[in-house]
Amino acid sequence: MVGAARGRIDSDLKQSLSPIQHALCRPLYTQPFFFSLLSGLCSLRFLPGPCALFCSGGAHLFLGDLSIPMSWQTLCHLGLHYTEYYLQERASTRFCITLSSLMLLTQRVTSLSLDICEGKVKAASRGIRERSSLSDHLCKALPYFSYLLFFPALLGGPLCSFQKFQARVQRSSNLCPRHSVWALSWRGLQILGLECLKVVLGKVVSAGAGLTDCEQLQCIRVMWSTAGLFKLTYYSCWILDDALLHAAGFGPGFGQSPGEEGYIPDADIWTLETTHRISLFTRKWNQSTARWLRRLVFQHGRAWPLLQTFAFSAWWHGLHPGQVFGFLCWALMVEADYLIHTFARSFIRSWPMQLLYRTLTWAHTQLIIAYIMLAVEARSLSSLWLLCNSYNSVFPLVYCILLFLLGKRKHTFN
């Protein structure tokens, strides 16, 4: 009798509460997700077009329509092209931040979509058709919306899977303040060092000639130093994004469970600066995005999966002329890299020759990456033409020739 009476009281209490209050009555599960979603909604307040961000994520969550967020992103990129190329005006900073957030939202939407298709995550829409209260629907959808609109991920940072996000939010009380302070301090020192290097290298670049007035071999030094500035900027931003995620409790070392996906930082500076293989550089550059592209495009591509992956990456980044040229060139360089190193392993045996080979290929790899980086960052056809018409084009041209010569023997190498 007492149990039945208590059940009726609980039922009456639930009916008297609003859906959001009802969701908050489940503190062990829903409250962390609710506050995570609230922080994301507050961050959208400072971005133009928050409804586009929110609706594009929600449309896929309940309707399964992946084209909606990609359509929003493509329209924003077309608007950016219209502003920069037709009106000859500089886009506002807020618009660029919104576009960047939309690109990151597309990453999480497609990652969640793949998890649902592969059976790793149960779709929130499965319970919508059942006869249940609105508060139950909100409780089921709350983790998904909080994942899509998690504010550190809207600003940047490595892509985090839904399973990892869910596990970390539910285990938020296990954070170690001392470990977090030390990790954040170390990342702050790294950012400080990178910014100091940027200042020094920036003075060197500004004091010398540019691509417009360099002569012959001098253009190689200009290309390498300018690409070094871009690299330092990327490294600094990635470490800052990583620190933001770490401060939110999503970094490494917070009691990761055995079956949980490992933490994937975007900046592996040592590997990026010391590798002699373009393919390894490609896998380590913006590592979480590289894995996302591999999972989304490369593993599902039937014909020319590598070319499809880089073409999709150019589309996702905005289809600027320099990006189209740079990413397609990057795809050819990766394909040539596989053939060249397979061929070299078959003929280079002695360690002095291997040391010489690694040194030469390291220098060639870094110069090709610098060439691609300047092409991708070029925002005008004139800048792209200056790069292609310089001595720097020799480095990717060598790999293209080797790709053509060794392509016929690919099956033999395999």
Angstrom CA distances, 31 to 102, 166, 232, 285, stand at: 26, 12, 39, 36
DSSP assignment of 30-83 equals HHHHHHHHHHHHHHHTTSS-HHHHHHHHHHHHHH--THHHHHHHHHHHHHHHII
The whole-angstrom separation of Cα 347 and Cα 60 is 52
Active site residue 300: no
Which is catalytic among the residues 22, 137, 286, 364?
286
Which 8-state DSSP code applies to residue 149?
A: T
Nearest partner of 236 among 305, 278, 189, 181, judged by Cα: 189
* Residue 351 CB neighbour total at 10 angstroms: 8
Asked if 376 and 322 count as a contact pair (C-beta separation under 8 A), the reply is yes
Q: Tell me the residue type at 179.
A: H
**Catalytic site residue 341?**
no
Kindly list the distances between the CA atom of residue 356 and the CA atoms of 176, 338, 363, 398, in Å, as whole numbers in the listed order: 47, 19, 11, 18
CA dihedral 346, 281, 271, 106 (to 10 degrees): -150
C-beta separation of 392 from 220 below 8 A: yes
Which positions are catalytic? 286, 317
